[in-house]
Amino acid sequence: MSERDVFDMVIVGGGLSGAALALALRDMAWRVAVVEPNPPRAPGDAWDARVYAYSPGNVVWLQALGAWNATVRSQPVYAMRIAGDDGGHLAFDALDAGLSELAFIAESNRLHWSLWQGLRAAGNIESIEAETAGVAWGDGEHELILADGRRLQAGLLVGADGAHSWLRAQANIGLTIEDYQHVGVVANFETERPHRGIAYQWFRPDGVLAYLPLPGNRISIVWSTTPEQAEALKALPPDEFTSRVAEAGRHSLGRLQLVTPPQGFPLKRRRAEAWVRPGLVLIGDAAHTVHPLAGQGINLGFRDVRLLAESLRDAQLAPGDLGRLQAYALRRDEDVSSVQFVTGSLKKLFASEEPLLRWLRNTGMTLTDGQAWLKQALMRHAIQ
């Protein structure tokens, strides 16, 4: 005999986006469940290889939730230097746009743990460590069936279970995928010279290399390159890998010392064919993924959460009201579509070896650098 529990909302997936949504609803009268088979563990002192660039707008919002606190090791980004593959250059400085910073770089695991600490302390949120087994779709109410036999009934199911979303598949929602044929190789380093809060990005014949500043004399790198090159980089001895990264970064920060071993993540653009259904909404990577060269993936997910939480605060409507969910999806479409288009187009533009396109991309980069109004507009969009 199965045990049935009734909630107003069940969030499937307790990653950054799912946990943030739950925490954003902590003061609601609704009963919320977060189902996550692998909740985060308390992080140690070791550095996490996976870091993200968080927009100032999202950081202010996370601070209001109490999740962005002293336990999150973060580094403000004050400027960004971008180099093309044939002399092109582009620079962004926060002060030029009247900003305090362009972004914040922080580890994933510490923010994840902080979000979970907050949601576990909320009286209306229940965290459930369990695998999912099935969904019984109903009319106005759905049941999430767990592997241990429990059934969670809710008026709204939220798919926050990542790029390979189980809940999306259970709803038979299709997925458009564009394989960039690139892998993001990530690692952390100690640097000889101070980075001074400057992020660097080099467009190279073999991909895109980024140096992201971390607290102290540390950086995280993301090297977006072909699968073959990524495997070759990861197979190098640590000293040789370090030398390759330093050389590819033009020795901008002097000698490097490897802190975390390299890891690789396949890069694909994904877009769910529908983000909402009656009593169902997809957020974050379950709905969309983008190329990391603009550092907007996690920011898009948090902007999903911010708008959805705001939309759900209308107490006159049930959580799963389809009209409200459709309005949410319509408002999010422009932001997601524009970021996917820009990042995908840049990747294709810099992947081409045609001489004319090479000249155009480097010339365009340098011309943009001379247009203060355009750079300010780009910066102000990125900080949201």
Q: Are residues 257 and 236 in the same domain?
A: yes
How far CA 127 is from CA of 33, 94, 115, 285, in Å, comes to: 6, 39, 12, 21
The mean of the pLDDT values for the chain is 88
How far CA 6 is from CA of 123, 151, 372, in Å, comes to: 15, 8, 55
The DSSP symbol for 156 reads E
- Residues of the chain above pLDDT 70, percent: 85
Q: What distance in Å separates the CA atoms of residue 304 and residue 302, rounded to the nearest whole number? A: 5
What's the structural domain count of the chain?
A: 2
Q: What pLDDT is stored for residue 84 in this prediction?
A: 73
Q: Are residues 123 and 29 in the same domain?
A: yes
53 domain residue, yes or no: no
Q: Are residues 11 and 119 in the same domain?
A: yes
The DSSP symbol for 293 reads G
HSE, CB side, 13 Å, CA atoms: give it for residue 287.
29
Q: Are residues 126 and 28 in the same domain?
A: yes
140 domain residue, yes or no: yes
Q: What pLDDT is stored for residue 315 in this prediction?
A: 62
Q: Position of tokens 């396949």?
A: 266
Residue numbers in the chain where pLDDT is lower than 70: 1-3, 85-87, 89, 292-295, 315-316, 342-384
Q: What distance in Å separates the CA atoms of residue 86 and residue 214, rounded to the nearest whole number? A: 28
Domain residues for 72?
65-108+180-268+353-382
